[in-house]
Structure 1
C-alpha cells in the first residue's frame, strides 16, 4: 500500500539533539523486533517466558517514551520566535494594533485598542469584553494548535466570521442513466439537499503572569501568550474533536452513532468488528486492520490516516503479516509519523484504549471527513485583581467541529460482532 499524504505538510527538523534521539529510537525499535520475535517463537513452542514478556513490554514502553521525546524536540525546533516579526509588518494598521495590544497586556492601557476596534468594527468583537489579539498572534496560536492537536492537524479547518457554519449536502443526487439517441427520456428526479450545521463554541484559557515579567521589555508578549495558551487549548480541543458531545463544545467523531459497516447509512459511522471482545483475534490478528482499510472507498483511502492512542499503538506494533513482516513501521525521519500498512499513524490519547466493545482505532480521510471551524478573533481580557500579585489573562477563542462526510471515516470495534 502506498502512503499518500498530500494534505499534510511534513518538514524535517535538524539539529544534533533531534538526530541523536531519532537514532536511539531506531535502535530501540530493532531491539523490540528481536525481543518480540523471541516472544512469538516461545509462544509457538511452549508459551511465553515471563522474562521475555517483560522485556518486550519494557522496550515497547521505551519506544513510546522516545517517540514522545522526538516529537517534543521537533516541535521546539519548529517554533518560530515572534520577536522581530513586527519589523516585517508593513501595514501601518497592523503595527498600530500590535503596539496597542502590547500596551494593554503590559500596563492595562486599553485606549488604543478601544480606538482601533471602534474603527474596525471587528467581526471578532463579543459582548463579554476583552480585545482581539493582533492577527499575527492569532495565526501563531493556530499554528501551534495544529502542531499539538492531532485531529486539527489532519482535519479540514475553516475560518468563519459568523457564529455558525452551515454546509449543504446532497443526500441523493439527480437520477441519471443511459439512453438511445432517439429513445424517450423519462423526467429525472431532483437532488435532495440537507444541511449540516457547525456552531462555534467558546474555548478559554487563563494564563497568569507577574507584573515584573510584563514590565520586562525583553519578554515578547505575543510569543509568551501563544505558548501559555497552546497546551490548554490543544488539550481541550483534542478531547472534544474525538469524544465531545456537542453540548457547549464541538461534537467528536466517536459521539456519532456507529453501526456495522454492512448496515452503514449516512449520519452514522461504520465499524469493522475484530471478532474478539477486547482484543485482536488469536488467528490472523492483522486481518481486522486490513478489513478496516478496505472498508474505506478508494477515493478516501488514498489519503487515509490511522488515529489511535499510545497504548493501542503499542499493541498494534507487535503484529505481523502472513510473510512475517511487521505491519507497523517507524518514522522515516524526525517529525514524521510512523506508518501502519503504509498509512500514517497519528497518536491521540483521547482515543479509548483497547477494551471490550471499544472503538479504539479510526481510519479515514479526516480532511474530508471531519471539519473544524474557527471563528475569527482570539480575545484577551486582562484581570489584575482576582489573583494578586499575579495578572490573569482570560483568553478565549470560538471553535466548532463535527463530521462533514460520514463515508470518509471508519472505526475498528474490539468486539465479537
Structure 2
C-alpha cells in the first residue's frame, strides 16, 4: 500500500528556509525547565495515587500504573531537552583569530586547506618543522589546538564518566602512577626512650596505557567547498557522538584489551572482606531487585560503605531505566529520595548526592552490579594523549570524502577504596 504524500504548493516551495539559531535563548531554557518541573509534579501525583491504590486494593489500578509510566517517560524526555538546550547554550565558540599566535593561525589555515581540498604540503612542512609524530602523510595530520580543545570539551559534556572522573593529559604512550600499599611504621615513645628503626613504605605501580580510538565522519565535496561551513566545528561535532559512545562503554565495562579498563571489569569482593586491587560491593539481599520493604535503606548503606573523605564529591552512576524505578521510592518520612535539579543545567540528586546517568551501566538483573557510588575523580583515571589526528580519504567511498580521526585514550581505577558497587543479589 502506497502512502499519499500531499503536494507542496509553489508558495511553500519558494519560501526561504527558517533561520537556524546556533544557541537557545535563556527564555527557552527557562520554559523547558518549567515544563520539566511540571512533569515531575504530575509524576509525584500519579505515583502517590498508585501507592494509595496498592495500600487499599493490594495492587494498583492498571490505568493508574500506565499513566505513571507514561509521565515517567515524559519526565525523561523533558530532562533530556533541558540538558540539550543548556549544553548548546554553554558550548564554547572557536577562536576568531584575534588573539591567536601567528604559528597557530598558520596551522589552522593549512589544516583547512588540507580538509577542504586535500592540499597537504603546507601541513607537512609545518609539522616536519615542529618534528611532530603526525607529519607522516600515511598517519594523518594533527588538528589545530583549538579544534582538539573543542573536541575535549564536547566529550566532557557528552560522556557521563568523563564528566566526573579524574583526567590526566600525557605525551607518552603509557602513564605510570606509583602508590603506597603500606605506609611507614609509626609508634608512640617516651621523651628519652630509644627510637627503633621502622619499616619503610611498600610501593607498587599502576599503569594506564593510551589506546587508539577512531571515528570516520563523511562529507560531500559540496559541503567542503562551502566557505560558510565552519570545518573545525563540523569535525568536532561529527566525532563527538562516536567518541563519547565508545568511551562511555569502555570506562564502564571495557576489558583493558586495546581499550581502557572499566571499573566493572575489576575483581569485586564483599565490602566486609575488601582489599586493595578489588572493588567492594553490598548486596541488595534480593535477586535482581531491591528489597520490597524499605528499599532506600540499602542505598543508604551503600552511601556509608564509602569513607567520609570520599563522600564529599561522590556521585551515583546508573542507567536511566533503573533510575526511573528508583524515582518511585520514598523514605520513612514519605519524601521522595530522588529530587530534580534545582535549576536548568543542574543535576538531579539521590539521597542528596548527584546522579550521573550512564546508559552503559547494566539493567537490574540477578547478581548484576547495576549501581556504582563513589568519588570518581579520585577513583577512576582517564588518560588522554595529546594530539588528535586526521587522515583525509577521498577514494574509498566516492563521492564522499572520509576523515579518519583518531585520538589515544586510556583509563582505569586508580583508588580502589573510592568506588563501591550495589550487587542485585542475595549475597
Q: Deviations over 1:233-256 (max 9, x none)?
A: 001000000010100100000001
The alpha carbon displacement at 1:368 in A equals 0.2
Question: Is residue 2:140 matched to residue 1:130?
Answer: yes
The 3-state SS of whatever aligns with 2:416 is coil
Report which structure shows greater RCO (CA 8 Å, sep ≥6): 1
Partner residue in 2 for 1:10: none
Question: Is residue 2:37 matched to residue 1:26?
Answer: yes
The 3-state SS of whatever aligns with 2:395 is coil
The 3-state SS of whatever aligns with 1:86 is coil
Aligned with residue 49 of structure 1, among 42, 49, 61: 61
Q: Deviations over 1:261-289 (max 9, x none)?
A: 00111111111111111111011110111
Q: Deviations over 1:146-186 (max 9, x none)?
A: 00000001111111000000000001111112111112222
Per mean C-alpha deviation after superposition, the further-off stretch among 290-299 and 173-182 is 173-182
State the TM-score, normalizing by the size of structure 2: 0.92
Aligned residues of 2:317 and 2:356 also touching (Cα < 8 A): yes
- How many residues are matched? 403
Question: Is residue 2:338 matched to residue 1:307?
Answer: no
Q: How does 1:13-162 map to 2 (within 5 A)?
A: 15-46=26-57, 47-82=59-94, 85-89=96-100, 91-122=101-132, 129-162=139-172
Aligned residues of 1:278 and 1:354 also touching (Cα < 8 A): yes
Aligned residues of 2:124 and 2:137 also touching (Cα < 8 A): no
The alpha carbon displacement at 1:125 in A equals 5.9
- The structure with the larger Rg is 2
Q: Deviations over 1:38-75 (max 9, x none)?
A: 11122222221111111111111111111111111112
Aligned residues of 1:124 and 1:375 also touching (Cα < 8 A): no
Q: Deviations over 1:275-327 (max 9, x none)?
A: 11111101111011100100000000011011110001101101111111110
Structure 2: how far apart are the matches of 1:379 and 1:140? 14
Question: Is residue 2:173 matched to residue 1:170?
Answer: no
Partner residue in 1 for 2:228: 218
The 3-state SS of whatever aligns with 1:386 is strand
The 3-state SS of whatever aligns with 1:85 is coil
Structure 2: how far apart are the matches of 1:56 and 1:347? 21
Structure 1 unaligned residues grouped into runs of 5+: 1-12
The alpha carbon displacement at 1:16 in A equals 1.9
Aligned residues of 1:124 and 1:378 also touching (Cα < 8 A): no
Aligned with residue 297 of structure 2, among 287, 298, 303: 287
The 3-state SS of whatever aligns with 2:97 is helix
Instruction: Give the aligned CA root-mean-square deviation in angstroms.
Output: 1.3
Aligned residues of 1:155 and 1:369 also touching (Cα < 8 A): yes
The 3-state SS of whatever aligns with 2:73 is helix
Aligned residues of 2:124 and 2:135 also touching (Cα < 8 A): no
Partner residue in 2 for 1:9: none
Aligned residues of 1:138 and 1:378 also touching (Cα < 8 A): yes
Structure 2: how far apart are the matches of 1:140 and 1:415? 43
The 3-state SS of whatever aligns with 1:401 is strand
Structure 1: how far apart are the matches of 2:205 and 2:179? 6
Structure 2: how far apart are the matches of 1:31 and 1:373? 43
Deviating runs (4+, > 6 A) in structure 1? Answer: none
Structure 2 unaligned residues grouped into runs of 5+: 1-23
The alpha carbon displacement at 1:128 in A equals 5.2
Partner residue in 2 for 1:201: 211
Per mean C-alpha deviation after superposition, the further-off stretch among 104-113 and 48-57 is 48-57
The alpha carbon displacement at 1:88 in A equals 2.8
The alpha carbon displacement at 1:126 in A equals 7.2
